[in-house]
Structure 1
Amino acid sequence: MTAYWIAQGVGVLAFAVGITTFINRDERRFKLQLAGYSAIIGLHFFLMGATPAGFSAELNAVRTVISLRTRSVWIMSLFIALTLGLGLAKFTHLMELLPIVGTVASTWALFRCKGLTTRCVMWCSTACWVTHNFWLGSIGGTLIEGSFLIMNGLNIIRFWRMQKRGIDPFLVEKKVQEQE
Structure 2
Amino acid sequence: MTFYWFAQAVGLLAFFVGITMFFNRSDRRFKQQLSAYSAIIGIHFLLMGANPAGMSALLNSVRTLLALRTRSQWVMAVFIALTLIFGLGKAKHLMELLPVIGTVVSTWALFRTSGLKTRCIMWCSTCGWVAHNIWLGSIGGSLIEGSFLIMNGYNIIRFYRLQRRGIDPFEVEKQLEKKEAQEKTA
What range is the shorter-chain TM-score in?
A: over 0.9
Residue 69 of structure 2 is aligned to residue 69 of structure 1: yes
User: Which ranges in structure 2 are unaligned for 5 or more consecutive residues?
Assistant: 181-186
The reply on whether 1:11 has 2:23 as its aligned counterpart is no
Partner of 1:152: 152
What does the per-residue CA deviation read over 1:60-80, in whole Å, with 9 as the maximum and x for residues that have no partner? 000000000000111100000
Structure 1 unaligned regions, length at least 5: none
Distance 1:123 1:10 in 2: 23
Aligned to 1:58: 58
Amino acid corresponding to residue 40 of structure 1 in structure 2: I
In the other structure, the counterpart of 1:22 is 22
SS at match of 1:125: helix
| In 2, Cα distance between equivalents of 1:114 and 1:34 | 14
Provide, for residues 58-115 of structure 1, a one-character-per-residue CA deviation record: whole Å limited to 9, x for no partner: 0000000000000011110000000000001110000000000000010000000010
Distance in 1 (alpha carbons) for counterparts of 2:156 and 2:62: 25
The answer to whether structure 1 residue 135 and structure 2 residue 152 are counterparts is no
SS in 1 for 2:69: coil
Alignment of 1:34-45 (within 5 A): 34-45=34-45
Deviation at 1:38, TM superposition (A): 0.1
Which residue identity does 2:12 align to in structure 1?
A: V
**Helix, strand or coil for the counterpart of 1:68?**
helix
Residue 179 of structure 1 and its aligned partner are, at CA, apart by 1.2
Identity %: 71
Provide the TM-score with structure 2 as the length reference: 0.96
Question: Over aligned residue pairs, what C-alpha RMSD do you find?
Answer: 0.4
**Alignment partners' CA distance in 1, 2:51 and 2:130:** 16
CA distance in 2, matches of 1:35, 1:23: 15
